[in-house]
Structure formats: C-alpha cells, structure tokens
Amino acid sequence: MSGAIVGVDVGGTFTDLFALDTKSGTFRVAKVPSQRGDEAAGFLAGLEAVGGVGTLAAVVHGTTVGTNALLERKGARIGLIATRGFRDVLEMRRRDRRRTWGLWGDFVPVVERDLRLEVAERTFADGTIEQGIDEAEIEAAGRALLAAGAEAVAVAFINAYANPANERAAVSVLRRFWPNEDVCCSSEILPEIREFERTSTTALNAYLQPVVGAYLGRLEDALAGSRFGGAFHIVQSNGGVMSTATARRLPVRTALSGPAAGVIAAAAIAEAAGFPDVITGDLGGTSFDVSLIAGGRPSFAAQVAVDFGLVIRTPMVEITTIGAGGGSICRVDAGGLLQVGPESAGSRPGPVCYGGGNDRPTLTDANLVLGRINRERPIGGGLARLDAEAAERAIAAHVGERLGLGPVEAAEAIVRVANARMAGAIRLLSIERGHDPARFALMPFGGGGALHAGALIKDLGLAAALVPRFPGVTSALGCVIADIRHDQVQTVNLTLEGIDAVSLGARLETMAGEARQVVEASGLALTGLDVRFEADMHYAGQTHSVAVPLPLAAADASEAAIRAAFETAYTAAFSRLLPGIPVRLATVRVIAVGRRPAVDLAALAPSEGSTLEAARRGQRRVWFEGSWHEAAVYDRLSLPVGARVEGPAILEQADATIVVDPGLAATVDRFGNLVMRSA
Amino acid sequence: MTVLDPVTLAVLKGRLEQIADEMDATLARSAFNPIIAEARDLSHGLYHAETGETLVQGTAGLPIFVGATAFAVKAVIEACAKEGGPREGETWIFNDPYDGGTHLNDFRLVRPVFRKGTLFCWIASVGHWLDIGGNVPGGYNPRATDSHQEGVRIPPVRLMRDGVVDGAITAILAANSRVAQSNWGDLNGQINALDLGEKRLAALLDEYGEQTIAAALDALTQRAASLMRAEIAALPDGVYEAEDFLDNDGIVDTPLPIRLRMTIAGETMALDFTGSADGCAGPLNISRATTIACCYVALKHLFPEVPSNGGCLHPITFTVPDGSILGASAPKPVGGYTETILRVIDTVFRCFAQGAPDRATAAPFGTINALSISGWRGAGHRWVMFCFFGGGLGGNPETDGLNHGNNPISTATIPPMEILEAAYPVAFRQWALRPDSGGPGLHRGGCGAIYEIGLREGITAEAFLLGERGRFPPFGTNGGGHAAPNRFSHGRADDRHEPPMTSKAFGIALGPGETVRLETPGGGGWGDPRARTPEAVARDVRCGYVSAEAARRDYAVALLPDGSVDAAATAALRGAGR
C-alpha cells in the first residue's frame, strides 16, 4: 500500500495493525504475534503483512511499553535531586495506604532512598527565591548519581511550579556533563501545585525515559533499515498523537497509549454510525475497562495511580477498570454470596477450560457451559478446543453445590453477577454523573465484550449496542484517526476579583504559542489547528476545583467572562453557588489539537455480494434465562449490509464472539457495525 | 418479607454502596476546609429506620465514623420522637459528642427518607469542621477540663424544615466560629451530599420497589453478622488480655491505662474494658458509643472482608464501665478522643497478637498529632493552619510496615505542603522519613516522619499540639521490638525546648527563626529482628531507615565501612545473642 498510514497496537499477545490508504480509501488489517523483548521484529513482521514498509507515509503506534515498565517495575535506575529536607516526598506520598481496611503491605518507590540527593535551595509559594542553587553542589550530586549507576536524573524542587528558576539552573548544570538526554525537572513536566503529584510524575517520567527512548530507538532503527521514509508517531494517554521527539522527552504521557487509542477509534466509529454518546467496554482476560464518550468527546481524568503510590498527573482519557474479565475467578464467600473476581486466572493458566492447570471456575468457563462460546473454535487461535466438561465440573464444585444450584444454573448466576459488576462500572461513569443511559449506546470491544453487551443494554436501559466490525483492532484503528495533541498546564493562583485579565491573556497566548509549535512540528498532514483554554477554579478556601472551559480567545479574557464560565461549571457540578465568597483561579491549561484529515469509515463495510443465508453456519444450544434455546450461528464478517439477525443467535468472527440475546435483534449498518437493540 | 436470591442481593449491594460512595465524593469535592476536602474526614451512609443501625456505608468514609454514625442516628431518632417524629423535608444537625461519638468538630446532618408517606430509612453526612469556637483554634485543646472549653455544643435540632435551612441556626453557628465562612461552605457541601443521596435512593426504590430494597438491606445485615460469626469461630477459644497506656491527660502527668480482656467462645466475642483508667481531668475521655465504634474499626482491619454494616457487631458484647475514661458523659472533655480510640484499637490488636498471630500487625504509630498554628495576617485577618500528621505502620506477617501511613481510624490523605505554604505564612524546613523510628523486627516497622515548620518573614504565631505516644511507644509483636516514641520540640536550632507533657503543648509563641519540630513514631516490629537477613539490614542502613548503630544493637548485624555486611562479625554477634 503506497502512501498508506498504518496504526500499530502492540499488546502482550498480539500486535494488531490497521493500514489505511488515504487516497483510495481502502484498508487492511493484520494480527501477528507480539515478540516480547524484541518488539521491533513483531512490528516489522506486521508491517510486512499489511504490504511492506518502504512506501508507507506514516506509522502511528499505540504502545504498552511504558505501562508494562511501570506495572512490572522495570524502568531505569534513576536519581532524584530534591530540596534539602524534602527527598522523601516521593516515598511519603500523601500518607495513604493500599486499602481502607487492613494494615498490611508496604511501598517501594521507583527511586531508592540513597539515590535521592538533597541540595540547598528554596523557593516559596509566591515565587520568592529564598536561596538560589550552588552550581558546584548540583554538579557533585549529579556526578554522585552517575557514579551510583543512574541512567536518568529528575530534579524536583519545592514550589518550582511558582518559579522554575532554580530547577532550570540545576538542569542546565546537569546537562553540561550528563551523558545522555535523560535529564528532566518538575517545572518542565508538570508546573502544577502539589509536591507529591508533581514529583511522582517527574520521577516516573525519568524512570521511563531510558526504557521508552531505547524502545523507540530500536523501532526507528528497524524502520530505517527497511527504508521507511515516512513519519513515526506515538499515541498519548490523552488520545492525541505526538512525535517521537516529544515522546522521548515526555514518556510518562504514554502510560495509557494503547487503551486511549481504542477510545478514540470508538468515538469516531460511533459518531459516524450516528451514536455520538457511547460507553465503551473492553473485556479482557483480567479486567473490564470502561470509558464514556459524550457528544463525540471522550471524558478525561486529571491523574491516575498506575499502582499504589505510582501517581501520574497529566490529562488522560478516563478509563475505569474493574477486576472482572474472562479469567476472573468465581467463588462463594463465607457469607454465602457469589463473587466474581477480582482474583484472576489471567491467560495463563487461564480458565479451567484451557486445561492449563487452574481448577477454579472463571467467567469464561461459565460462558462456555452456557453454550455462548464455541468450544470447537476458541478465539485467538492458541488452542484447538475448550474443555467444557472440566469447566462444568469446576462450576458445580465451587459454586453450584454451595448455592444449591445445578451447574448450568450456577453458570448463569456467574454471568449475572459479572454483568452486574460491569453494569456497576458503567453506572458510575454515566448515570451517577447525570447522563441519561437511554441516550447512550454500548460499544463492546476486545474478544469478550460482545458476549455481555445484550445483557448490559437490558440491565442499564441503554439505547443499543454497537459492535464495531473489527472489535479486536479498535486500538490500531484509533492510531490512524487520532488527532495531534499537546497539553500545557501552569499553576497561577490568582484571585478573580480585580484580576489583571490583560496579562493573564498574554500569558495564555504565550502558552498557546508554545503548544501550537509542538503540534506543528509533528510533520503529519493537518486540516486545522484548534487551541482551547481551561482553568481549574474554586471558591477561596476550597482546595478542590472545577475544570472551567474558558470560552474565549486569550485576548478576550475579562473578569466577567471568566466568572460567568466558572458559575456555569460550578452549577453543573454542585447544587449551590456561594455568592459573596471570592473566586480563585488555581491552574490554567492550554490544549492544542491538530486535526487530521477525516477518514471515511465506510471503507470498513463488507463487500457486496454476500447474503444472510451464506453467512449461516448452523445452530447450537445456548442457555438463556433458565432454559436452553436453539440459537442460530453466523459468520459475522460474511453478513451483508442491512442483514438483520434476531436473537437468540451467536455471531462468530476470528477474534470475538457476539451474543444476540432473545428479544434483541442485530442489524448490520453501512459501516459494517452491528447495531443491537430490542427486536 | 421478600426473600432475595443471592444474585439480586449482590447486584443491590453494589448499587447501595455506590450511593454512599457518591455522597462521599460530593462532599469532598465541594468542601471548604482541607480536613474534609483533602483529608476526607467525612462519612456518609444509610441507616435503619427504627434502630439507626448502619446499613450501608461509603468506602471512602473515615473508618471511625462507620461505627460512630449509627449512634448519632439513634440520638436523632430519640430527639425526633420527643418532637412528634420525623417529617418529610427535614434535616437534623448536631455535634454532641456524648450521643453520637467522636468530638465537637464532627458535624452530623441526619435526614429521614420517606416513601409514600412512610419512613424508609435515614441518610447521614458527617464532616469535620475546621473550628467551632473554644479556647484553641481548631478545637484540639490539650488543657480542656470541661467540654465547654472545647467549643460550641449543638444538641440534635432541626436544621431544615420543608427543605429550607433555618437561618437562625446557621447564624448561631457562624457567631461561634473563628472561620464561619469555611463552616458555611462545608455545611452546603453536606447538604449537597444528602440531596444527592436522597435522589439516588429514590431512583433505586422506583426501580426495585420498597419491599425488595428493604429485603436487601435486611439480608445485608444478616450476612454481615454471619460473616463475623464465621470469623470469630475460626479463632481459638480463650481469654486474651492486653494493656497499653496513654502518656497523660494534658492536665495531670500520670499514665492512663487501657485494659482489655477479650473472650472468644465459639462464635461469640466479649470485649471487657474493666480496669481501664477512671475518667480523666483532661480531654482524653471518650463516650461508650465511641469505644464501641473504635472496636468496630479494629475488627474491620483484622477482618477486612466483613462488610461495613452494623450486623457485624451482633455477635459481640461490650463491657465499658460507666464513668471510666471509655464511658464518659457530659461535660467531661473529649476533644482529644482520637488518642484514646487509637489506644483502644491497639489493645484489640494486642489481644489478637496472642490469639491469632498470623493475622495481627504490630502497633501502628498511634497518635494523631493534631497541630494547630495560628496568627494574624495584617489587620484583623486571622489564619489557622490545622493538620494531622502521619507515622509508620506496624510490621505484619507479610511485609515491613508502611512508611508514613495514616492511622487505622482514618484514610485521610495529608494536605500537600505546597497547598499549606500557599494558604498560610509558614515555611516547612523538613518533611522527611525519620531514621530509626520503626520497631526492629523480621519485618521492620514502617518509619515515622519528621516535620519541621517555621514562619515566613515578619510573621509570629502560636502553636498548639495534642498528641500521644511520647512515653509509651508503639509495641512490637511476635518478638519484634517497639518503635521510637513521639517527640515534639520548638525554638531555635541551637535552643530547643520540649513541653512538660511531651506531646501536648498549649500556646507556644513562635517568633522569627523559630520552628516547631514533630518527630512521629514508626510502627512496631513483627518477628525476631535477628531473623531479618543481614542484606536487608544493610539496605536499611544504606537507605538511612536504620542507623549502623541500631543495626548492630537491634539486629545484631555488623557492616563494613563500604556498607556491605561484615559476615564474620555478624555471625559472631548473632551467635552471641542465642
């Protein structure tokens, strides 16, 4: 495919690719095994599978290399230079603990205490510098860290958000002799108040810099070796794309790269299909990831804890994860209540039916016993068949006998409890934030999401379920359609009453200019560049704030306009305004988005000529609501546009199974999506 | 009564908990004072229509309130009965510590929820207000000998009728606080939370019907009770005794014993506090309700799977002598209640360390260290910085204790130092882990912290502290050693002073160049320190958690000048100790 743009999503087991020829509007998908430790080989093999590297215009990559390095604690050995008296900020956290109840467990920070060095310097909250740095002391600290084997160094000084001068001076000293580019400071990474969150984000950035840098280097070398002449980009946790140069500087922004790309694709697919409001549900082996898209826009979170104490604060697509996946273990607790998860058999040893040695039943085992999964054609391609008898025995022993239910009834109970947990996660994101579920469609992706979609739309009163044509490559598709994006934040701590709006406007304009430059330097074709402003605002005395979109160009900033925007946002969040109490502007944010050319998703539609009858594969017994039903089975990808399938039915494709419950019907839309709703 | 299948029950349990969780989140996000907004000193839940017993509690709520709020709701039920019973549209408010547990700063809003004209249940919101009058800004008055010196006391009264706030009551509240605006903001946040909870509950009742929800709430109570019975039955029958001490009451410098006799018999448990100190002159008294609430907290930590529901107290009986430090009534001062409940929890842990050593952790740091620094900025503008501080958690059967954690009664996060420096004219000089503060053990106690705080130029202030564990450090278990005690000092670098009552200080004048310095205890150690590998001890020394001297003394590990283990000398030390 000459001139194509390729999205590449490297997961733990498979590397998924989606190649789009923007001129002809044609596409190809591919799935190749991932090669852990030698991702470049799998990456190139995948590119070959979609038509070769040499002529590609661009490659956009959603990666979990950063996420995995954090979860498995395989980042680099790094040093941290802190203000004298404050090297333990990183380890002391916010004085939290792992769980509300139970006092067990400890915490090991990513920088050991002897690699956290203190230097004399101090800035106050108003930006006053009490004591500047001593260059010789900074140099000695840096050299000591190098001698101790540090590959990267982070500088995080108290109140550096208010005045970055000391940090910048320290960094310039370090850059004189540090042997690589991996020197960062907190005011560059996150100039925002709250020392732990800023220090943690900065330290995790340094922790990832050598790992992500080396990974990108290997990929770039491999691409160059294959005569790749196009642009190579990375998806950020905010769902936007950045250059590899930016990714090397800010690797902490890749923590949710892959899942964020999936949400971006979901938004585009759903909007094209006429569903601007969707909830995505990605059911994997150990977890169910949910996100909400309203009016075509994903919702965002300001920070995330990747694990206890590993806090990253940067705007990211909000993805809520609960421990309920195909491998989640089912048990009856001492109080007689059926529990599904959070403990998981994962993909190894996996569910009982995999025959990998686990004998405790999982959600997948329940789906198998109910006939919803095809025992002869397991998805993913790793196994020849599934052991349904073993699954049934395990469910009988661990659940059925404890609850006085037969094995099939017990399997149904497991699916109901799992559905309830998934519904709970969706409810938290939607109904409990004031969104009416009847307006939303559910978009399941991953291999298992569409097994439960029908039950979830019934439980939650959702309008429909929208199953994309290729649920398994959603993230790769997202890479191709994601916009370029750069976020810039700055704590300002200003009082709204009597604010100098002209100088605030100038400040915003400077930030906007910088963010624009980052976007323009990306080298990808853009159809436009938008800049938005937001402020975190609160009543004086409150420490939490509401995110206020500032509906104005920087030049139009005025006290009255900002107040109006604040009161609108505050009223939406809480019932009562508090007149008479001064309003504060804590932090301002600039978001620059470079719009990519629109992709016509109709390219995904099935080709003409297929028929409903030709897609029919037969039928099998499937258990629904207390009894066996004969369900029609179809080859999903062979269904033509406009085909309508009434439940009970099972639609199968290589990487996913879709259950159409009794009382529901699924129709193929003009993009090849399945739209499932009440018959 | 409708009987629910276990699956529907599991679904409804999640839905009900979500309502309480969302009330927690609403107050945290809209509160004014950082003790609620950052430190989450709050709680919300659903309570039984007749008994007030806890039915459902939010997971983010302060653990101690989980047990205490049930008593608060009971107090409102009684007050309400005297005035003709609950009415739709009303909300009650009070902070009386004798009826509802805890202390005057904790304001409770309690609202009846009606369905078709019948009372269905109560919902409640608890939050810690920053200042409610009294001698000491922030309320933690270490010298109080009478509750009236601690702040304004509000009995259960109607705050809202027909959904409208009674301005007379808010006017009285405003006149009795140094920071009326902050309290006003927090009150509105609590009303926001109740409004939301009521709305969500109504939607759930519309969806499932009153009978089904009532059956679910009843089943959850029964289930909590049966889970707790099963946990107790798994413990070896027997009588276990423990004692621990409070340093003093801030008035009289005499140790105050807390004594617990725990009897396990089949699936019942008896907790008997006979022999504990008599009611004291200072503010370390607690009411019987608070005593029961903190036992609940201790048991929840030992049995984390038992749900937050009043049913888990059904298999337990309590003996709390009237008039003792654990059974106080008005007007005994209770402002330092946090210290006493932490010690009660420690005695429960200590009994478990005998009966179930595979379950119990060594003692956590065990003091709240309520520090208040206040002064005037310019003409007439008062500032009060009030904060609780962290310490180490105890070593446990699995791992070392957590460095710098929070007390078992709380999940509060500490406000960022940068937020404090932006809000108040203070300058922190140190915010660090404290070496040698964790008790030695196979699993070392977590480290406590050092916080040193000075003032910005041209500022003077007064400091007050209410803390504990200055004389009786957190204990180790299973052969582990005790942690370092709490230490508070003030003055200049070359001229430090410690208050006579160790961790209780009143009105210390702070001037230019002077600081207050708080060194908090670590957690106790778990298991024999000589069984800790010499390499783990060498790492502790390299990282500065343990000094080389302590390694030698407590762990019998000798190190070479480069910090690595001196194997021969260590073998000699360890051999000699056997």
User: How do residues B505-523 score in pLDDT, each as one tens digit?
Assistant: 999 999 989 999 999 999 9
- Domain-embedded: residue A270: no
Please state which of the ranges A321-325, A358-362, B10-14, B451-455 shows the lowest mean pLDDT.
Answer: B10-14
Q: Quick check: B226 contacting A, CB < 8 Å? A: yes
Taking only the tens place, the pLDDT of each residue in A387-434 is 999 999 999 999 999 989 999 999 999 999 999 889 888 887 776 666
Question: Is the separation of the CB atoms in B434 and B485 below 8 Å?
Answer: no
Chain A residues whose beta carbon lies within 8 Å of the beta carbon of residue B29:
544, 573-574
Chain A residues whose beta carbon lies within 8 Å of the beta carbon of residue B390:
92, 95
* Residue B406 to residue A91, Cβ atoms within 8 A: no
Q: Quick check: A396 contacting B, CB < 8 Å? A: no
Structure-block tokens of residue A296: 């075509």
Between positions 95 and 154 of B, the ones with CB within 8 A of A are none
Mark whether A284 and A416 lie in a shared domain. Answer: yes
Say if residue B549's pLDDT is above 80.
yes
In angstroms, the separation between the Cα of residue B391 and the nearest Cα of chain A is: 8
What's at B520, amino acid-wise? Answer: T
Chain A residues whose beta carbon lies within 8 Å of the beta carbon of residue B408:
103
In angstroms, the separation between the Cα of residue B114 and the nearest Cα of chain A is: 21
* A323 Cβ neighbours under 8 A, 6+ residues apart: A286, A287, A341, A342, A343, A344
In angstroms, the separation between the Cα of residue B182 and the nearest Cα of chain A is: 7
Q: Quick check: B164 contacting A, CB < 8 Å? A: no
Mark whether A54 and A81 lie in a shared domain. Answer: no
In angstroms, the separation between the Cα of residue B405 and the nearest Cα of chain A is: 5
* Residue A417 to residue B9, Cβ atoms within 8 A: no
Q: Quick check: B403 contacting A, CB < 8 Å? A: yes
- Domain-embedded: residue A641: yes
In angstroms, the separation between the Cα of residue B279 and the nearest Cα of chain A is: 30
* Residue A428 to residue B401, Cβ atoms within 8 A: no
pLDDT of residue B6: 67
Give chain B's radius of gyration (CA, Å): 24
Q: Which of A104, A333, A413 is the closest to B305 by Cβ?
A: A333
Say if residue A183's pLDDT is above 90.
yes
Q: Which of B223, B399, B456 is the closest to A106 by Cβ?
A: B399
Please provide the average confidence, as pLDDT, over all residues in chain A. 90
Mark whether A519 and A444 lie in a shared domain. Answer: no
pLDDT of residue A555: 72
pLDDT of residue A322: 83
> How far apart, in whole angstroms, are the C-alpha atoms of residue A12 and residue A404?
39
* Residue A106 to residue B7, Cβ atoms within 8 A: no
Mark whether A565 and A504 lie in a shared domain. Answer: yes
Q: Quick check: A578 contacting B, CB < 8 Å? A: yes
Taking only the tens place, the pLDDT of each residue in A212-223 is 999 999 999 999
* Residue A417 to residue B11, Cβ atoms within 8 A: yes
> How far apart, in whole angstroms, are the C-alpha atoms of residue B334 and residue B141?
10
Taking only the tens place, the pLDDT of each residue in A296-307 is 989 888 899 888
Mark whether A377 and A451 lie in a shared domain. Answer: yes
Please state which of the ranges A305-319, A424-438, B140-154, B487-501 shows the lowest mean pLDDT.
Answer: A424-438
Tally of structural domains, chain A: 5
Does residue A276 have a cis peptide bond before it, meaning omega lies within 30 degrees of 0? no
- Domain-embedded: residue A488: yes
Query: What are the distances in angstroms from CA A503 to CA A494, A508, A517, A555, A558?
Result: 12, 9, 21, 9, 11
Question: Is the separation of the CB atoms in A31 and A382 below 8 Å?
Answer: no
Q: Quick check: A313 contacting B, CB < 8 Å? A: no
3-state secondary structure of A157: coil
Please state which of the ranges A62-71, A128-137, A550-559 shows the lowest mean pLDDT.
Answer: A550-559
Q: Quick check: A335 contacting B, CB < 8 Å? A: yes
* Residue A103 to residue B15, Cβ atoms within 8 A: no
Query: What are the distances in angstroms from CA A12 to CA A67, A252, A258, B322, B414?
Result: 11, 19, 11, 63, 37
Mark whether A144 and A165 lie in a shared domain. Answer: yes
pLDDT of residue A664: 96
- Domain-embedded: residue A128: yes
Say if residue B576's pLDDT is above 70.
no
* Selected residue with higher pLDDT from A11 and B446: B446
pLDDT of residue A425: 86
Question: Is the separation of the CB atoms in B183 and B138 below 8 Å?
Answer: no
pLDDT of residue B384: 86
Nearest residue of A to residue B188, measured between CA atoms: A576
pLDDT of residue A12: 67
Mark whether A506 and A612 lie in a shared domain. Answer: no
- Domain-embedded: residue A475: no
> How far apart, in whole angstroms, are the C-alpha atoms of residue B188 and residue B190?
5
* Residue A92 to residue B449, Cβ atoms within 8 A: yes
Mark whether A528 and A672 lie in a shared domain. Answer: no
Question: Is the separation of the CB atoms in A576 and B188 below 8 Å?
Answer: yes
Mark whether A414 and A502 lie in a shared domain. Answer: no
* Residue A575 to residue B38, Cβ atoms within 8 A: no
Decide which of A564, A595, A626 is a domain's last residue. A595
Q: Quick check: B219 contacting A, CB < 8 Å? A: no
Mark whether A295 and A333 lie in a shared domain. Answer: yes
Chain B residues whose beta carbon lies within 8 Å of the beta carbon of residue A88:
404, 431-433, 449
* Residue B543 to residue A403, Cβ atoms within 8 A: no
> Which residue in the block uniquely carries the two structure tokens 């203070």?
B426
* Residue A161 to residue B418, Cβ atoms within 8 A: yes
pLDDT of residue A603: 80
* Residue B418 to residue A195, Cβ atoms within 8 A: yes
**Computed from CA positions of residues B58, B62, B63, B66, in that sequence, does the dihedral angle turn out positive or negative?**
negative
Say if residue B578's pLDDT is above 60.
no
Taking only the tens place, the pLDDT of each residue in B228-285 is 999 999 999 999 999 999 999 999 999 999 999 999 999 999 999 999 999 999 999 9
pLDDT band at residue A435 using 50, 70 and 90 as cut-offs: confident
* Residue A334 to residue B30, Cβ atoms within 8 A: no
Torsion angle in degrees (nearest 10) through CA of A46, A52, A58, A64: 10
Mark whether A560 and A496 lie in a shared domain. Answer: yes
- For residue A201, what is the enclosing H or E element? helix A195-225
Q: Quick check: B352 contacting A, CB < 8 Å? A: no
* Residue B30 to residue A573, Cβ atoms within 8 A: yes
Domain containing A300 equals 276-462
Chain A residues whose beta carbon lies within 8 Å of the beta carbon of residue B364:
103
Q: Quick check: B202 contacting A, CB < 8 Å? A: no
Decide which of A427, A462, A497 is a domain's last residue. A462
* Residue B405 to residue A543, Cβ atoms within 8 A: no
* Residue B431 to residue A96, Cβ atoms within 8 A: no
Q: Quick check: A88 contacting B, CB < 8 Å? A: yes
In angstroms, the separation between the Cα of residue A263 and the nearest Cα of chain B is: 25
Tell me which of A89, A93, A103, A542 to substitute to probe the interface with B (most B C-beta atoms closer than 10 Å): A103
Say if residue B158's pLDDT is above 90.
yes
* Residue A101 to residue B301, Cβ atoms within 8 A: yes
Chain B residues whose beta carbon lies within 8 Å of the beta carbon of residue A424:
14-15, 18
Residue burial A631-659, b: 16+ Cβ < 10 Å; e: rest: bbbbebebbbbebebebbbbbbbebbbbb
Q: Quick check: B6 contacting A, CB < 8 Å? A: yes
Decide which of A595, A619, A653 is a domain's last residue. A595
Chain A residues whose beta carbon lies within 8 Å of the beta carbon of residue B59:
100
> Chain centroid to CA A237: how far?
6
Mark whether A407 and A552 lie in a shared domain. Answer: no
Question: Is the separation of the CB atoms in B418 and A493 below 8 Å?
Answer: no
Read off the CATH number of the domain in which A500 is found.
3.30.1490
3-state secondary structure of A316: strand
Read off the CATH number of the domain in which A353 is found.
3.30.420.40
Q: Quick check: A399 contacting B, CB < 8 Å? A: no
Q: Quick check: A413 contacting B, CB < 8 Å? A: yes
> How far apart, in whole angstroms, are the C-alpha atoms of residue A564 and residue A652?
53
> How far apart, in whole angstroms, are the C-alpha atoms of residue A458 and residue A438?
11
Q: Which of B22, B399, B403 is the closest to A91 by Cβ?
A: B403
Between positions 105 and 124 of A, the ones with CB within 8 A of B are 105-107, 112-114, 122, 124
Question: Is the separation of the CB atoms in A422 and A324 below 8 Å?
Answer: yes
Tell me which of B235, B418, B434 to substitute to probe the interface with A (most A C-beta atoms closer than 10 Å): B418
Please provide the average confidence, as pLDDT, over all residues in chain B. 92
Chain A residues whose beta carbon lies within 8 Å of the beta carbon of residue B419:
193-194, 543
